[in-house]
């Protein structure tokens, strides 16, 4: 059951595949903001999914974050997420990322609980409509 106070963390090591240069969001080989945001979303998704039925999932609906410090190649990044609000199907998470030396980012992420089958039916209907 999803309830306020649940926590989860994920981590990764910065390599050439998750740098600002790789994402095209910058020119340097440091941990890229798009990858930090993806790590934040992944951490929140995993937290929620552990408490949902197999027929359910979540989709990200908003994120507000800042990226405060650079992380070099080879350094570990940890993301911690805490569920701070449950409003029917809307989930609000507080997220924080840090490396071996610094807090590197923080923010708020919102996800919406979905029925996977209904969601995909809606997406497929949109595809069909676009073909006409």
Q: Quick one: tokens of 5?
A: 């106070």
> For the domain that residue 21 is a member of, what is the CATH number?
3.10.129.10
Q: Is residue 126 part of a domain?
A: yes
Q: How many domains does the chain have?
A: 1
Each residue's pLDDT tens digit, 55-90: 999 999 999 999 999 999 999 999 999 999 999 999
User: Which pTM does this prediction carry?
Assistant: 0.95
Averaged over 83-105, what is the pLDDT? 98
- Domain boundaries, position 92: 7-131
Q: How many residues does the chain have?
A: 132
Q: What is the pLDDT of residues 4-59, one digit of tens each?
A: 999 999 999 999 999 999 999 999 999 999 999 999 999 999 999 999 999 999 99
**Scanning the structure block, which residue is given the tokens 């650079």?**
70
Structure tokens at 92: 């609000």
2 is a domain residue: no
Residues with catalytic roles = 33, 41, 67
């Amino acid at each position: 059951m999803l309830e306020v106070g649940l926590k989860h963390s994920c981590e990764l090591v910065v390599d050439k595949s998750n740098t600002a240069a790789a994402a095209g969001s910058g020119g340097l080989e440091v941990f890229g903001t798009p990858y930090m945001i993806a790590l934040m979303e992944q951490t929140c998704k995993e937290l929620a999914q552990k408490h949902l039925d197999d027929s359910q999932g979540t989709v990200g609906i908003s994120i507000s974050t800042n990226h405060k410090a650079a992380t070099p190649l080879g350094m570990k990044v940890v993301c911690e997420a805490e569920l701070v609000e449950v409003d029917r199907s809307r989930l609000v998470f507080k997220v924080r990322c840090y490396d071996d030396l610094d807090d590197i980012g923080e923010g708020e992420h919102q996800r919406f609980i979905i029925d996977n089958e209904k969601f995909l039916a809606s997406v497929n209907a949109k595809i069909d409509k676009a073909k006409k």
